[in-house]
Amino acid sequence: MTLLQKTSPLDEAWIALDLETTGLSPESDEIIEVGAVKFVGDEEVETFQSFVNPGRQLSDFITDLT
């Protein structure tokens, strides 16, 4: 068995990223929240969350959804 077969990329540090937006259009909608979770293997070791001001009022639908 080679070293490549013995290890998995998920055994290393990796980050799951989550973006919340005002809608689905890349042309007209904006990112309003960024979240990230850092893992080492399958263990959560650090989290990050930040809201982003889109410069406009959010619809009730988006406020309720996020």
Residue boundaries of the structural domains of the chain: 3-54
- Residue-wise pLDDT for 21-58, tens only, equals 999 999 999 999 999 999 998 899 999 999 999 898 88
CATH topology for the 3-54 domain = Nucleotidyltransferase; domain 5 (3.30.420)
Strand-pair category, 13-21 with 43-51:
unpaired
Phi, psi of 56 (to 5 degrees): -155, 165
pLDDT value for 15: 96
Structure tokens at 35: 């979240």
- For residue 13, pLDDT over 70 is answered with yes
Q: Which segments of 1-66 does DSSP mark as H helices, in order?
A: 3-6, 60-65
Q: CA 10, CA 13: separation in Å to the nearest integer? A: 7
- ∠ CA(35), CA(38), CA(43), 5° rounding? 130
Structure tokens at 50: 């930040």
Mean pLDDT of 55-63: 87
